[in-house]
Amino acid sequence: MSIPASKKILIVEDERDILQLVKLYLEKEGFRTLSASTGTEGLRQVKQEKPDLVILDLMLPEIDGLEVCKRLRSAPETAMLPIIMLTAKAEESDSIIGLELGADDYVTKPFSPKTLVARIKALFRRLERKPDESPSQYRYGNLVMDLARHEVTVKKVEVPLTAKEFGLLEHLLRNPGRVLTRDVLLNTVWGYDYYGTTRTVDVHIRRLKQKLPSLNEAIVSVKSLGYKLKEE
């Protein structure tokens, strides 16, 4: 599958040489690029230019990459924006935090631009596959969610869920491995005109886990952000 040339990628990196190298390679691959050398500038460009993907260096002046990532994930309009983090070897524990905070992937410096391009393409493929499938079923371990029947079974035994619990679970199953913030879940499942607090989400997640013990370990809470269903 070829990647449409129109994809716009924002590179947030304060090391000029790396920025130029990445920019050069991405443009050679047919991507359009934008660049920023601080976290603040990166956030501004995301808002103004609406890139399709962000390459985010971890160590940045002003606001660091983790904070940028956290802010992007917290805002509903950028909650699902694909992010690849650039980290140095010594910062590896931070890159794990980065993944927890919702980066989709990370590449450790020094890296070959070829590797980075391959990761970008893989990420776009992973994200673009989803809409065409429009599944009528989701499977996770021995759990099956049948959307047409509005039914969830574990080992073929039906587990009765309320409409909200069903909605929450559907959203988690549709986005495995991605951090879903409480605001995003609230807006998706309860709707924008719902006046409840984000604690509502916590309460429902807790009930969902009680009804589905097999997901107890799989649904993880992400520090001050929201929830994630681990990839199988």
- The nearer residue to Ca ion, 115 or 162, going by C-beta atoms, is 115
DSSP strand pairing (105-109 vs 137-140): unpaired
| 94 lines the binding site for Ca ion (CB under 5 A) | no
Q: Chain centroid to CA 90: how far?
A: 24
- Residue 163 CB, shortest distance to Ca ion, in Å, is 46
| 21 lines the binding site for Ca ion (CB under 5 A) | no
User: Which 43-62 residues touch Ca ion, going by CB under 5 A?
Assistant: 57, 59
- The nearer residue to Ca ion, 13 or 170, going by C-beta atoms, is 13
- The nearer residue to Ca ion, 36 or 99, going by C-beta atoms, is 36
- The nearer residue to Ca ion, 14 or 100, going by C-beta atoms, is 14
Buried b (16+ CB within 10 A) or exposed e, 211-229: bbeebeebbeebeebbbbb
- Residue 117 CB, shortest distance to Ca ion, in Å, is 20
Helix axes 65-74, 39-49, angle to 10 degrees: 30
- Residue 224 CB, shortest distance to Ca ion, in Å, is 24
User: Is the separation of the CB atoms in 69 and 56 below 8 Å?
Assistant: yes
Dihedrals phi, psi of 212, to nearest 5 degrees: -125, 75
- The nearer residue to Ca ion, 71 or 207, going by C-beta atoms, is 71
- Residue 61 CB, shortest distance to Ca ion, in Å, is 8
Binding region for Ca ion (CB under 5 A) out of 8-16, 150-158, 165-173, 185-193: 8-16
Binding region for Ca ion (CB under 5 A) out of 13-21, 47-55, 70-78, 172-180: 13-21
Q: Record the tokens describing residue 45, joined without a space.
A: 């460009």
User: Is the separation of the CB atoms in 212 and 141 below 8 Å?
Assistant: no
Cα(102)–Cα(121) distance, rounded to whole angstroms? Answer: 18
| 14 lines the binding site for Ca ion (CB under 5 A) | yes
Question: Considering just the CA atoms, what is the radius of gyration of the chain in Å?
Answer: 19
- The nearer residue to Ca ion, 14 or 29, going by C-beta atoms, is 14
DSSP strand pairing (8-12 vs 83-88): unpaired
- Residue 38 CB, shortest distance to Ca ion, in Å, is 10
User: Is the separation of the CB atoms in 18 and 37 below 8 Å?
Assistant: no
Residue nearest to Ca ion according to CB distances in the complex: 59
- Residue 90 CB, shortest distance to Ca ion, in Å, is 12
Footprint on this chain of Ca ion (rule: CB under 5 A): 14, 57, 59
